């Protein structure tokens, strides 16, 4: 073996180890309140604790097809109030969200016309969401610019007027 190989290998290993040392998954939990819109999007606000930081964020949800179980999927994008300077972007990250469970809390037809509920009744639901990475159509910016993964579970309630209240917990890796 070439003697210089003994010098290069430790350098490569130390560089790889230092890169991994800075990557970490932070606990993320909080509350989302939003409203369904007639075009099937959602618009609202998020209060999130990310690690030790508390963030206030706006959120928009756009329909993104259906799961194999014919439950809705969304792309949710948040923009947060963490801007450090006038030259820095706000924190922004998008999530691929799938409804995993949906249970009506009243009989179909309970909601009057017009209503925002696709099933005509208020319901409770659960969602599984993952951080979208390396997608130029959904860029991560600001504090989320190094996001490389993460998963969040959501539980929520949807009323006839389109009001949606959710709690979430999981992690964002960056």
What are the residue ranges of helices labelled H in the chain?
Answer: 3-22
Residue 76 within any structural domain of the chain? yes
Give the pLDDT of residue 115. Answer: 64
What pairing do the DSSP bridges indicate for beta strands 149-158 and 123-131?
antiparallel
Radius of gyration in angstroms for the set of CA atoms belonging to the chain, rounded to a whole number: 20
5 pLDDT more than 70: no
In a domain, 7, yes or no: no
Residue-number span of the structural domain to which 102 is assigned? 24-173
Q: Is residue 163 part of a domain?
A: yes
Q: Say what the pLDDT of residue 103 is.
A: 92
Torsion, CA 101, CA 105, CA 110, CA 116, rounded to 10: -40
DSSP state of 162: S
The pLDDT mean for the chain works out to: 86
pLDDT digits (tens, 9 = 90+) for 137-148: 999 999 999 999
Q: Cα(100)–Cα(128) distance, rounded to whole angstroms?
A: 7
CATH code of residue 46: 2.40.350
Residue 78 belongs to some domain of the structure: yes
What tens digit of pLDDT does each residue of 104-114 get? 888 877 787 66
Does residue 41 form part of some domain? yes
What distance in Å separates the CA atoms of residue 89 and residue 34, rounded to the nearest whole number?
24
- Give me the pLDDT at residue 106, please: 85
Strands, E assignment, 53-162:
53-66, 72-80, 92-104, 123-131, 149-158
Domain count, the chain: 1
């Amino acid at each position: 073996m070439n003697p210089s190989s003994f010098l290069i290998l430790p350098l490569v290993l130390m560089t790889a180890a230092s890169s991994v040392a800075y990557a970490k998954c932070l606990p993320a939990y909080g509350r989302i309140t939003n409203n369904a819109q007639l075009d099937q999007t959602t618009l609202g606000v998020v209060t999130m604790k990310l690690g030790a930081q508390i963030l206030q964020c706006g959120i928009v949800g756009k329909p993104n097809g259906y799961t194999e179980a014919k439950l809705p999927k969304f792309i949710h994008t948040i923009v947060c109030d963490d801007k450090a300077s006038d030259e820095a972007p706000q924190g922004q990250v998008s999530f691929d969200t799938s409804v995993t469970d949906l249970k009506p809390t009243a009989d179909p037809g309970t909601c009057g016309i017009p209503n925002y509920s696709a099933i005509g009744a208020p319901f409770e639901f659960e969602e599984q969401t993952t951080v979208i990475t390396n997608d130029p159509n959904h860029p991560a910016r600001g504090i989320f610019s190094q996001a490389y993964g993460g998963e969040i579970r959501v539980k929520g309630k949807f009323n006839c007027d389109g009001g949606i209240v959710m709690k979430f917990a999981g992690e964002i890796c960056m």
